[in-house]
Amino acid sequence: MNRRQHKASLTKKKISDAAIKLFEEKGFRNVTVDEIVQVTGTSKGAFYTHFKSKHEVFFDKFKEIDRYYEEVLLDFVKEEEFSIEKLRIFLRLQMKYIQEDLGWDVTRTIYENELDPSRKSYFLMEDRPLYRILTNIFDEGQKNGEFRNDISTEKMVMVCLRVMRGILYDWSINEGAYSLEEEQELLFSTMINGLEA
Amino acid sequence: MNRRQHKASLTKKKISDAAIKLFEEKGFRNVTVDEIVQVTGTSKGAFYTHFKSKHEVFFDKFKEIDRYYEEVLLDFVKEEEFSIEKLRIFLRLQMKYIQEDLGWDVTRTIYENELDPSRKSYFLMEDRPLYRILTNIFDEGQKNGEFRNDISTEKMVMVCLRVMRGILYDWSINEGAYSLEEEQELLFSTMINGLEA
DNA sequence: ATATTCTACAGACTATAGTCTCTTTGTCAA
DNA sequence: TTGACAAAGAGACTATAGTCTGTAGAATAT
């Protein structure tokens, strides 16, 4: 990385840090790009060379989510004997993390971004770690007879993803008004119930 | 209704009709309010006296959805002996209707609107016919022992709504790329499985 | 060392949803 | 009938995300 690239990456980080801080303080919608640009002493040009949109500032946050799933949550899950328990715990911790560390405004913003066809989708990237994690769990659980055998792993992953999206979307439109950690239990246990062998 | 109100309602209808037609032709995001105003020969002032936002033009469409659920779908369901079958058929027909009559762009637009905290939410209106319909089905099914008795009807309705939102959100971000009518089957049957007594 | 090219950035500009103010005209009370 | 009021509408204006164009100076080639 030469001097120029280095300086550029500093600018990107400066913008990103300031933006995320402002979003946390005032909420995503109440922060303007002009404001971000102003407090960082940069410019529209700088902002949009580093980010495709105001939403995209979250992209790093998003990669962070997946890293957290892989590095932290998988550890908690590893020791469990049964795949069903792995799944249950993974989902609970995931919801807890989203509630406590991301918060509903970030979640809402990410969910909103996905609905805009002109913007890059993170949910539809096929190689998301989340998908691998779920695939592994279902695969293993199906092999040792815990999950139904009449449905492919892919389909079970799809079911699981849609249920997750359902509760996270619902939580977002409710502006985080209920405890995700508590409410997830019934929903996911119903789903797991329906997927058990 | 006096002459003035009559004329006003004509204007509203003119705007609404033209807008929906344009949305169908070009997609919601590719139609501007200026364009709607121009083709109807009205003005911004007229538009915004009748609609709180561009999204709100769908409000009527939304009421139409619920009317359809109540008037058409309930008829198909009435004859069924088992509540579980009623639920299954209702959900299938609902998805079929959304796929064929509304389309993913309208669905996406409605789902997007809900994510904006500054706008009126339709999903959170407690007296939506949809909620009554689901409550009735679960209530009846619980009484005759088809559904689990350890969960309240309200909670089962919540589970069902979240699953519905999950698949519709997912279908929206996929830009309607798969058949809702086909894909709903596995998801809802899994859920019903988990709710059966 | 000099010329050339490229890239990060500045900031003016555009597109568009939504607001504000002013005007017109129907309604209603006296 | 007339005067006050209100509501529907016209259209200028604002706020803000995103685009476009030009430039300085760093990298690179000769």
Q: Over the stretch B93-145, which tens digit does the pLDDT of each residue have?
A: 999 999 999 999 999 999 999 999 999 889 998 889 999 999 999 999 999 99
Q: Report the pLDDT value the prediction gives residue A174, as an integer from 0 to 100.
A: 97
d(CA A55, CA A4): 26
Give A60 or B76, the one with higher predicted confidence.
Answer: B76
Does residue B62 register a pLDDT over 90? Answer: no
Measured between CB atoms, which of A165, A173, A190 is closest to B170? A165
With beta carbons less than 8 A apart as the criterion, state whether B120 and B52 touch: yes
Q: Is A78 helix (H, G, I), strand (E, B) or coil?
A: helix
> Among B55, B42, B53, which residue's Cα sits nearest to residue B12?
B42
pLDDT of residue B169: 98
Report the nucleotide nearest the CA of residue A34, measured to C1': D16
Task: Specify whether the CB–CB gap between A71 and A151 falls below 8 A.
Answer: no
| Distance CA B112 to C1' D18 in A | 20
Interface of A with B (CB under 8 A): 29, 108, 111-112, 114-118, 121, 123-124, 151, 155, 158-159, 161-167, 169-170, 172-175, 183, 186-187, 189-195
d(CA A163, CA B191): 10
Rounded Cα–Cα distance for residues A140 and A156 (Å): 12
Domains identified in chain B and CATH numbers = 3-51 (1.10.10.60), 57-195 (1.10.357.10)
The per-residue pLDDT for A78 is 86
Res A37: pLDDT: 98
pLDDT above 90 for B29: yes
> Kind and range of the H or E element at A93?
helix A83-97
Q: State which nucleotides on strand D lie below 7 Å from a protein beta carbon.
A: 7-13, 15-22, 26-28
- pLDDT tens series, chain A, 197 aa: 888 999 999 999 999 999 999 999 999 999 999 999 999 999 999 999 999 999 999 887 888 889 999 998 888 888 889 999 999 999 999 999 999 999 999 999 999 999 999 998 899 988 899 999 999 999 999 999 999 999 999 999 999 999 999 999 999 999 999 999 999 999 999 999 999 98
Q: How many residues does chain B have?
A: 197
Buried b (16+ CB within 10 A) or exposed e, B68-107: bbeeebbeebeeeeebbbbbbebbbbbbebbbeebebbbb
Per-residue pLDDT band for B181 (boundaries 50, 70, 90) equals very high
Res A64: pLDDT: 85
CA–CA gap between residue B180 and residue B164 (Å, rounded): 11
* % of chain B at pLDDT higher than 90: 84
Number of helices (H), then strands (E), belonging to chain A: the values are 10, 0
Q: How far is B189 from chain A (nearest CA, A)?
A: 8
Q: Kindly report the nearest CA distance between residue B112 and chain A, in angstroms.
A: 6
Confidence category of residue B77, pLDDT binned at 50, 70, 90: confident
